[in-house]
Amino acid sequence: MPVSTASTRVPQQERSRATQARLLEATVDCLVEHGWSGTTTTVVAARAGVSRGAQLHHYPTKAALVTAAVAHLAERRADELRTEAEALPAGPQRLDRVIDLLGVAFTGPLFVAALELWVAARTDRELRDALVPLEATVGREMHRLTVALLGVDERRPGVREAVQATLDLLRGLGVANLLNDDSARRTALLTTWKRQLATLLTP
């Protein structure tokens, strides 16, 4: 009965995807709220409303779960950034608005959840092995996305370094915002940085 099999398989796949998405969103929420040590697979399953069995089926270990969660959220954030950037004006104002969007991203839940994992992975070999390849991919994607959002040509001398410095600066500002609302200082600092960056990126 190939037709009936196909029609039951699709809803099944959809249910699986929905279950996975619920687990991954719950994982990031948990990392943001309770940190790495407070994030257990049991707490995540309960929060997602998913049975332990279903959770273990999709993500057999905590390392697999949290790594998939950060990959999932990184993709979703990249899509959101692309959509938000489509609404941005061309011209000189564009750079300022792109930096504003990135400033928000580097102080948001994905950054906080990812930082929890980076720090925990330093002293947790299983997590580290799972995270290092992902970190490299997410880092490259973030760089590519920034180049695309800024609409600059990376083959020009200095552009690659300027984009890298921007992302490293934003990472540092994200850490500075962990325990305090650092937004006033960050806004002032990024206002200066936007002017420098405009000079660095102008042919």
Closest CA to 97 of 106, 107, 87: 87
Name the residue nearer to its own copies (CB basis): 19 or 186: 186
Q: In this complex, which beta carbon is closest to its own copies, that of residue 48 or of residue 131?
A: 131
CB nearer its own copies, residue 79 or residue 161: 161
Q: By the 8 A CB rule, do 197 and 99 touch?
A: yes
Residue 95 or 169 with smaller CB distance to its own copies? 169
Provide the minimum distance between the beta carbon of 78 and its own copies in the complex, in angstroms, as a whole number.
Answer: 19
Q: For residues 31 and 149, which CB has a smaller minimum distance to its own copies in the complex?
A: 31
Q: Treating both helix axes as pointing N-terminal to C-terminal, what angle do 62-86 and 109-122 enclose, rounded to 10 degrees?
A: 150
Binding site for its own copies (CB under 8 A): 33-38, 112, 115-116, 118-124, 128, 131-132, 135, 158, 161, 164-165, 167-176, 178-180, 185, 188-189, 192-193, 196, 200
Q: Which DSSP string do the residues of 32-50 spell out, in sequence order?
A: HHHHHHH--HHHHHHHHT-
Q: How far is the CB of 2 from its own copies (least distance, A)?
A: 48
Q: How far is the CB of 34 from its own copies (least distance, A)?
A: 6
Nearer to its own copies, 29 or 54 (CB): 29
Q: Minimum distance between the CB of residue 187 and its own copies, rounded to whole angstroms?
A: 12
Q: How far is the CB of 82 from its own copies (least distance, A)?
A: 23
108-146 burial by CB neighbour count: b if 16+ within 10 A, else e? Answer: ebbbbbbbbbbebbeebeebbebbeebbeebeeebbebb
Separation CA 107–CA 101 (nearest Å): 10
Among 146, 162, 143, 160, which Cα is nearest to 200's?
162
* Contact between 44 and 65 (Cβ < 8 Å): yes
Tokens of 30: 């948990």
Q: Shortest approach of its own copies to residue 59 CB, angstroms?
A: 21
- Whole-angstrom Cα distance, residue 186 to residue 169? 10
